[in-house]
Amino acid sequence: MDPQRVRALLEEVRAGRATVDETMVALRDLPFRALEFAHVDTHRHLRTGFPEVVLGEGKTPEQIAAILNELARGGGPVFATRVSPEAAKLVVPAVAGARYLAMPRAVVVGEMPAADRGRGAIAVVSAGTSDLPVAEEAALTAELAGNRVERIYDVGVAGLHRLLAHRERIAGAEIVVVVAGMEGALPSVVAGLFARPVIAVPTSVGYGASLGGIAALLGMLNSCASGVAVMNIDNGFGAGRMAAMLNRAATT
């Protein structure tokens, strides 16, 4: 349940516009709702500041839609990641207010929040265009947490002049998420140039010796530049969530 909605309910009780019993009815679904195939965590937004996110992989379209509908009842935007276009064709009509974003492969329900919950911008930087699905998953996650995101794409080490053309935008960000496949060198370069925390995301993009992203993962873990934290392969959601938590203003 959205913390803003809980606060509004409590304010109604304090002002005498709602009874305790009425408010208890509104809160009866905390902390979870049990479906046949899932325990939907409606309390997570209150506990962690971000609602439960549905991993679309491995779930049927009907399961994705049912969980999203339950989460959406709590207010605030919710979303599902790793939803195929084929599954989205069935999910979106079944969930009121849902829309499909093809690049991050996400179904989003509800309006985007105002970008006013972070101390500053989060820069999401990708090495190549093929890394965009993971980069966009990170960017979307950060935006749904109320952050302003600067997207800087296709600036990998094969042409470093492209990265340097955006030095002011990167230097002006609070946190930098760097997404790269192949040998995974870009996070080290960014961390060596800018005094900003770097969250590195290896992708499974690359030829045979990249081993499905393992080469990029190991390269990032062995970075000679300081200030680099590494996510798992293709984990754009985890990077966006971590960046949002690090960027959170003291009052949010």
Domains, the chain: 25-109 (no CATH), 122-247 (3.40.50.1970)
The pTM (predicted TM-score) of the whole model is 0.84
Q: How far apart are CA 6 and CA 155, in angstroms?
A: 43
How confident is residue 52, by pLDDT bands cut at 50, 70 and 90? confident
Note the pLDDT tens digit of each residue in 222-243.
999 999 999 999 999 999 999 9
How confident is residue 27, by pLDDT bands cut at 50, 70 and 90? low
**b/e for 148-181, b at 16 or more Cβ within 10 A?**
bbbebbbbbbeeeeebeeeeeebeebbbbbbbbb
Average pLDDT in the chain: 89
